[in-house]
Structure 1
Amino acid sequence: MVAERGEHGIDFDEPCVARVYDYLLGGSHNFAVDRAAAERFSARVPDLAAGVRANRSFLRRAVRYLTGLGVRQFLDLGSGLPTAGNVHEAAPGARVVYVDHEPVAAAHGRTMLADVPRARMLAADLRDVDGVLGSPEVRDLLDLSEPVGLVMVGVFHNIGPDEDAPGLVRKYREALAPGSHLVVSAATRDSGDGFDWAERQTLLVDFHTFRRAEVAELFDGFELVDPGIVHLTRWRPDMAQPSDELVAKLPTVAGVGRL
């Protein structure tokens, strides 16, 4: 059976990872098929929603920090749907290009941004650096001679150990102006908390984790902003420090670096 698609290419019959993510964030841009998939995943990995929300909370804090420094344009790689507290909401008035390789997510994202004049959705694989930076969306909206916030939150688990993640970041870094910043979160496997990724990896194909030292390599050429690379809930929290129990459930670190 061929999945039904709406007039903008939106698939209503098959779950979409970006829409599942939206549902876990408490967003409204999802369908029954996405909600059912999210509930199946959450039943097997009870911390899934907490991890998704912690990642989004870190993204918002980091973006607000950068706007406080005067950064007014962002390139969000592997963004998923631009919803539920995403970059253009955390940085009102900023110019934002969202990039996602899922055609369905990109099609849905374009409809969501139709009335947002300073934001664009690009269907592209973040590994194609030249294709991303040379796209009409980036060329028309972003000025790479001025500081850019390069957002790579929750994307590195899709990049395998043979794909040279630091080299990928370096290619983007070489195109950025001084004063640009890199925003990263990545799942780690050496937190010492005994967390077992095996169950997560049975649910998500090609889910890769990093050691903290490998996350640090992503910031080569950038100056880490205080407090450095820490658990994502402990990067400049806007409320009380998270409990050790929560930290143990979410083995993910985050950091921001300045070029």
Structure 2
Amino acid sequence: MVEPDQPSTARMIDFWLGGEHHYPVDVAAARAFEQAYGPCAPVFQSLRAFLGRAVRAIAATGVDSFLVFGAGVPTMGNVHEVATDATVLYTDVDPVTIRLGQRLLAGSDRAGYGFGDATDLGTVDPALLHRFVPGWGRRPVGVVFLGLAAFLDDDTLARTLDELYAATAVGSQLAIDFDTEELADNPQALAMMGPAFRMRSPAAFAPLLGRWTPTSEGIVAVPQWRPDGPPEQVPDAFHGVVAVRSAG
């Protein structure tokens, strides 16, 4: 693979998680952001731990297939490494990340990687969807939607989540996070996120879920969602929720 000349958030996160699938340009961007914000590894490790707990909880209800949007690098405790009996379709919109994911998952009969824009379900390859999420629209599935809400305006996010609700079967579950207003205390880091970046309070985010019904934990800071032990002590950068498609 030709080394990219632009950093990728997905590969920066891989660097913060201690992975091996990033390039010098990603490390430079990650360190520049840390100069403005502070250490990021603990924050993203906490977010990845939330992903793991959420996926295990969803799988424990009998869900055995997952569709992942904005998937990033499919390593370091990503979905198929957690739900080891499930099939998983990872999707992203970044061609470099997609090629990397396809290379890493080559030969897997449980996990695939393809293009997919969360705001347009029609962009997901039907053949991949049929292969790796065979119950789509007929059986409960897990939808993972992490790292995306901050880059969608309220109307787009609400529409996207409603379209996902309509497309999935009753009993499907959604794992989603959003960036809190914590980054406002770090204006230099906030400026680096670009004009499309949106922070939200839990009260502002809740209505955007629409018909999705949060589990009893509600919308909480990600370390607080069903922690395996004492919650990680990290900046309150992300809140998350698992929500259920409970009716038509």
Is the shorter-chain TM-score for this pair beyond 0.5, marking a shared fold? yes
Distance 2:13 2:54 in 1: 20
Q: Deviations over 1:22-73 (max 9, x none)?
A: 1111111112222222122212211432222221110000001111111110
Q: How many angstroms does 1:213 deviate by? A: 2.3
Could you tell me the percent identity over the aligned residues?
31
- For the aligned residue pairs, the C-alpha RMSD in angstroms reads 1.9
- Match of residue 63 from structure 2: 71
Instruction: Give the aligned partner of residue 213 of structure 2.
Output: 223
Which of 83, 86, 96 does residue 94 from structure 1 map onto?
A: 86
Deviations 1:174-215 (A, max 9, x none): 0101110011110122xxx79525333211222111221232
The aligned residue for residue 241 of structure 2 is 255
Structure-2 residue corresponding to 1:200: 189
* Distance in 1 between residues matched to 2:96 and 2:64, nearest whole Å: 28
Gaps of 5+ in 2: none
List structure 1 segments (4+ residues) > 6 angstroms apart after TM superposition: none
d(CA) in 2 for partners of 1:129, 1:214: 25
Residue 83 of structure 1 and its aligned partner are, at CA, apart by 1.2
> Structure 1 residues 242, 257: closer, same or farther in 2, change over 3 A?
same
Aligned: 1:158 with 2:147 = no
SS at match of 1:109: helix
The answer as to whether partners of 1:195 and 1:251 remain within 8 angstroms in 2 is no
User: Helix, strand or coil: the match of 1:98?
Assistant: strand
Mapping of residues 159-178 of structure 1, within 5 Å: 159-161=152-154, 163-178=155-170
> Are the aligned partners of 2:36 and 2:186 in contact in 1 as well (CA < 8 Å)?
no
Q: TM-score, normalised by structure 2?
A: 0.90
Q: List per-residue Cα deviations over 1:64-90 (Å, max 9, x = no partner).
A: 111111111001111111111100001
1:42 aligns with 2:34: yes
* CA apart distance, 1:15: 2.5
For normalisation by structure 1, the TM-score amounts to: 0.87
Q: Which deviates more, 92-101 or 201-210?
A: 201-210
Structure 1: tracts of 5 or more residues without a match: 1-5
Distance 2:40 2:48 in 1: 13
Q: Per the alignment, do residues 251 and 110 of structure 1 end up closer, same or farther by CA in structure 2, a change over 3 Å counting? A: same
Task: Give me the whole-angstrom Cα distance separating, in 1, the residues matched to 2:204 and 2:176.
Answer: 12
Contact 2:119 2:156 in 1 (8 A): no
Paired residues in the alignment total: 242
